[in-house]
Every structure is written in structure tokens, then in C-alpha cells.
Structure 1
């Protein structure tokens, strides 16, 4: 009986260790590690993205990607911008790490881009304090949370040509 209990206890400990090893801590905006091209290999939230929530963020809230980009799959949502490139087939053109880097801070990959940095809190040139006409003080909140970045990337990874 002692052997069974030892194996049972070892199995529980091993399960807990494996489960917690798979969970990474959320990466703070100031700690995001971009590679030499601007890609981000590591999940910012430590959890998989939710493509359905990412699809919602493309049109609502702080994401609002279709204000600048066109996505045929979302044409029922009305006006799509033409400032940024069409996102149809984006998963065939970019890796998940590339897309994570672009969504987090496109300026690392594309110097001079107009695309906002969605996961950044410092280093802005002229941030305003809402609609007060005054400059913001201190760090700002990122436009998207770490999980929302992962959700948008998960949705973008569904946009394939075929």
C-alpha cells in the first residue's frame, strides 16, 4: 500500500509541476523582448489567445484595427480604413511572433509607421491627458492588455488566403 501512495503522491506533485511550468507570468510592457526584426517570440500573457475575442477587438474598444485596415471577413461592420494594409491573408505573410511584435509595438519593426503601439506605457512623444489639452503625466496604460494582444494575434492567425 505504501508503494501505491508514494506513486500517487509523486503523480500529483508531477502534475502540479508540469501545470505550473506551462504557465508563464505576464510580460510587462517595459519588459517585452523584441528580436532584431521586431518579432516577439514569447506570449505576453502566458496564455493562449482567444481568436473570437480578438475578432471583437478588431472593431471595438482600444483595438479598433478596422479603422485603418480592411478585412473582408468583417465587411458587415461597415467602414474599413485604407491607411494600413489589407489584413486578408496576413497569417500567410507573417509568423505569430511577427504579428505579436507588430501589434505590441509596430514601430520596432517599421520605423515611422503610423500604427499605434498597443502594448507600450512609456516613451511617447506628445501624449495628451484625455481631452484636457494638457500633457499626460507619468506612465500611460497600454491600449491593449497582454491577453488582448494575444487575442488579436490569435484572430490574425486565422486570416489565411486559403
Structure 2
């Protein structure tokens, strides 16, 4: 059975919370800039951001702008809105971010039939407004 078009989750149903380790990511997203936490000592990228680098244990962080592109590393096809239970096709993806060593971001993809999403496909970031003035990075085929 074909699923049909994949959609971004409705922004009015999404909320986030930040902490000192994640706030720079979300502040950049408000400006439509994709970034990832990079160790200020060894250069290793880590997503999600954490207080310590898993590679060298440093607490120093950089937040470089990334090109906004990546590759689908993994995905799932979902057919129910998690907030309401109504029929709704969305595709959560794990995106390997270009411009990093191996940082991955969990998001979702839209602008494509769910049946056509493939591991290895190139994607481009888009920006989906959500609650409280925040913006969520989502992806479409590149």
C-alpha cells in the first residue's frame, strides 16, 4: 500500500526546551542557520550537544555554520500524528550532516512521497516555525 506525500509535523503541536548545551543550536535555527556542537579542543562534532566532548572530555565548544545539506542515514515511515492520533504521513529521518565528521541530526523529511525516501539520499534543510517563536530544522530532497 503506497503511503503518499510525507509532511512536516504541524509546528503548533511542537514545543522545545533548551539548556546551556542546546541553546546555541536553537538560537541559530531561529536565524535559519544550521549548526552543530564542535569540540573547541579536538574538533570532534557531537549531536546532540553535551557538556563534555566524548572524544577528549573538553568542555570547550564551537558552533560553526554548516552548509545545510546532508545524507539520509536512517528513516521510518509513520502514519499517525503522535499528538492527535489522526491519519498523517510523516517520515522521521536521521541525517548525517555535511560539514561535520559524523554528526547526525534527527528530524523529518517532507516534499517527497514517503515510499520514495531512501538511505543515502541527499537532503537540504528547510525551516518550520513551531511554538514560542522557535524554528525546527526539517529536510526536503536536495
- TM-score band by shorter chain is under 0.3
Which one has the bigger helix percentage? 1
Q: TM-score, normalised by structure 1?
A: 0.22
Return the structure number with greater strand share: 2
Per the normalisation by structure 2, the TM-score is: 0.24
Rg larger for: 1
